[in-house]
Amino acid sequence: MYMIPANRAPEYAEAIKNLKTKATKFALEDIRALPTQAATLSCWNQYVFHWGSHSSSRAKSPRISYAVYCQRGIFHQLMM
In tens, the pLDDT along 20-61 reads 777 778 889 999 998 888 788 888 877 788 888 887 888 888
| Helix (H/G/I), strand (E/B), else coil: 44 | coil
User: In this predicted structure, what is the pLDDT of residue 79?
Assistant: 58
**What pTM did the predictor assign?**
0.64
Beta bridge partners of 60: none
CA nearest to 38, candidates 23, 25, 56, 19: 56
Q: In what order do the strands lie in the sheet with 32-33?
A: 32-33, 2-3, 50-51
